[in-house]
A and B are shown apart, each in its own frame.
Chain A
């Protein structure tokens, strides 16, 4: 389990750092501020792609998948002339 957790942490670290920077980071004063159009377009794109990802996951993981059918019963048919019960 530890290796899976480490793998998960490594996988999520860039996204986590990006989210944390978005929350607490300060904008570089030398950078020009974004325009209205840039900000609104960025939000709309992020919104739609995130929504698509939700719907994709839900579609690929349906709830209450039908139970697997029971395995067929195995019936042994003894061959003709077999002394199955004989013990020497």
Chain B
């Protein structure tokens, strides 16, 4: 099951555009500009939610030694970043995607190898999505 899940994510990663950006689904043209923006934001938020949820769920799961799969510190950083990201996106803050991209890159860089093995694919998906918005 783990191999199947990893394969699924690998297929997604490989089918993403070669520029490394994941474009969000185009909004129906019948929507007003405000609704089109909400449509786009909803899709982006799903990806950000996924990173947050995986970190939170992994933090709740314990290894045999009692330590969480993802530490409280890393999870806290990701939850805070998620909160900041969706607030900035909601406010349409200029350059919000670039700011979140950089902060997520920093978190991913300093995460221990064990946490990277769990969160790496999700980091990649989020970074690719953010890059497409920059």
Contact = CB atoms under 8 A, between A and B. Distances in A.
Nearest to B89: A47
A39 B69 contact: no
Secondary structure dominating the interface of B: helix
Contacts of B2: 2, 5-6, 9
A20 B57 CA distance: 19
Interface residues of B, number: 54
Given A16-B9, A50-B49, A4 B69 contact: yes
Interface string B37-71: 01101110111011011101110011110000100
Interface of B: 1-2, 5-6, 8-9, 12, 15, 22-25, 27-28, 30-32, 34-35, 38-39, 41-43, 45-47, 49-50, 52-54, 56-58, 61-64, 69, 72, 75-76, 79-80, 82-83, 86-87, 90, 118, 122, 125, 129
Given A17-B8, A24-B25, A54-B82, 9 more contacts: A5-B118, A18-B46, A19-B47, A24-B12, A25-B25, A33-B28, A34-B28, A39-B38, A61-B72
